[in-house]
Structure 1
């Protein structure tokens, strides 16, 4: 679905303390945290040339393009989203993102597994321990999107946080009822046990010097087979997965108040510049901008 990138959406200010940061020419991002929901981050952005590298999140990604058209690859399938479409990405799903045509503006949120489990439990009036799963990456739902966009705008720094809290709860409940199933994710394929073991090792030791030879020896596979199996099962090479986990850990460190240099040193990056390149390629803003937005 391709739309017109010209829009009358939010007009960001230029005060970095408000969470607004320039990317490339003609591009804007506003990253902000929602204090009424534990560790819930939100992003409003306009991208005309910026492209995300393949990456993952520990959280869900729920959002909507409000002008123009975005394209991405999830689960090996190329998709497109425009106004009126929900975009859903499940935790640990590898995805990228890029403008289609002249660009796009979107509103995104990153709810935790715990938050959606809590809402699902309240909807079912019993404890839900399974992780909700969105089987479709893009769903056309203009009414639901209108509710989500209103909630997202209300939660923004200029909005009514209490009204936004209720609206966003309703929006997430709508998404769970209409578009999710509360079951386990689909089973993985061949050599899944080896990949699972190496993935767990990387998650526990991401800051270490994890060479391909060391990982292959741990998996009991030749290096080329480990790369192939890991890419097949996760959508990433082992090295890309290591960088991804380091960026996620750096986000957590920055949220706790670490400086970008401290976060880089603590998470296995060789220096702050290396962290900045990897962070911006996956999150869309620099570590310093992220720290300012969540502090």
Structure 2
């Protein structure tokens, strides 16, 4: 199903052959708009957004005028456009593909405030395009996880981590982060919540609200106490539960959803990554 971003106003009647667009919205992140597209000929006229425009060119060259300077975003280059900054957009040579997000100033400011425990100003990115393959890879992993929408806890960890790293490197830096204590009661309640929702697609905002911490603060203190992020710990426990069910005689095809995995392939990947064998191989070893 083709969905068109209202922010870019690219309707089907305006698409050229070879152009593809897909838009979706993540309500739990302040109605964060996400966009993936391939453009071969489409040209955006000068325009602005009330949000940030942050994304990564996947292939080809995405070029745009920004403050009188032509920016050429090749593969692995991150686009940073602040709210209300005029820019256009056009394909360079044979066209380009990209993944994009449009976080609101309120959402990005809230992420920084929760991460640092301090009142912060609205960040301003100093570069319209930054070639940073490492950060680009972080963004693409977060964007794909948001699009897949089967593991919201993982997607949220990746997205928040990317935005913080982006502001740290290109948006003026982060203030000193609040010290995180051991907070054993918080860690215990987090584990209890995750275990109680083992088979569900846990939402990070619900988890953080349940234990009374901001999402990013929770990630930090949980990792400090356990050595794992909440999502990594949850996947670990899901694999443990799958192993218990296999020992009880359950077949691999019946336990994936019981353990909170999207499908049997997801169970197999996670199981083999941690134990070195597939669930089927493990079950065979028990006989």
TM-score, normalised by the number of residues in structure 1: 0.53
Within 2, Cα distance between the matches of 1:80 and 1:161?
33
Alpha-carbon distance, 1:158 to partner = 5.7
Q: Which range moved further: 93-102 or 155-164?
A: 155-164
**Are residues 158 and 18 of structure 1, via their aligned partners in 2, closer, same or farther at CA, if it must alter by over 3 Å?**
farther
Equivalent position of 1:172 in the other structure: 163
Equivalent position of 2:131 in the other structure: 140
**Are residues 137 and 18 of structure 1, via their aligned partners in 2, closer, same or farther at CA, if it must alter by over 3 Å?**
closer
Equivalent position of 2:26 in the other structure: 34
CA-to-aligned-CA distance 1:106-160 (integer Å, 9 cap, x gap): 00000010111112223332111x2100011011111111010011011115653
* Aligned: 1:163 with 2:164: no
SS of aligned partner of 1:57: coil
Within 2, Cα distance between the matches of 1:127 and 1:121?
6
Within 2, Cα distance between the matches of 1:159 and 1:72?
34
**Are residues 88 and 24 of structure 1, via their aligned partners in 2, closer, same or farther at CA, if it must alter by over 3 Å?**
same
Contact in 2 for aligned 1:32/1:157 (Cα 8 Å): no
Equivalent position of 1:72 in the other structure: 64
Within 2, Cα distance between the matches of 1:68 and 1:32?
23
Alpha-carbon distance, 1:162 to partner = 3.0
Equivalent position of 2:189 in the other structure: none
SS of aligned partner of 2:79: strand
Number of residues of Structure 1 aligned to a counterpart in Structure 2: 168
Equivalent position of 2:54 in the other structure: 62
Instruction: Name the Cα RMSD after superposition.
Output: 2.2
* Aligned: 1:120 with 2:79: no
Contact in 2 for aligned 1:36/1:165 (Cα 8 Å): no
SS of aligned partner of 2:28: coil
Alpha-carbon distance, 1:82 to partner = 1.1
Contact in 2 for aligned 1:21/1:28 (Cα 8 Å): no
Within 1, Cα distance between the matches of 2:11 and 2:65?
26
Q: Which has the higher contact order (CA 8 A, sep 6+)?
A: 1
Within 2, Cα distance between the matches of 1:161 and 1:21?
29
Which of residues 76, 80, 104 is equivalent to 1:84? 76
TM-score, normalised by the number of residues in structure 2: 0.55
Equivalent position of 1:212 in the other structure: none
**Are residues 21 and 81 of structure 1, via their aligned partners in 2, closer, same or farther at CA, if it must alter by over 3 Å?**
same
Equivalent position of 1:240 in the other structure: none
Give ranges in structure 2 of 5+ residues lacking alignment. Answer: 175-287
Q: Which range moved further: 59-68 or 158-167?
A: 158-167
Give ranges in structure 1 of 5+ residues lacking alignment. Answer: 1-14, 184-295
Within 1, Cα distance between the matches of 2:168 and 2:54?
14
SS of aligned partner of 2:29: coil
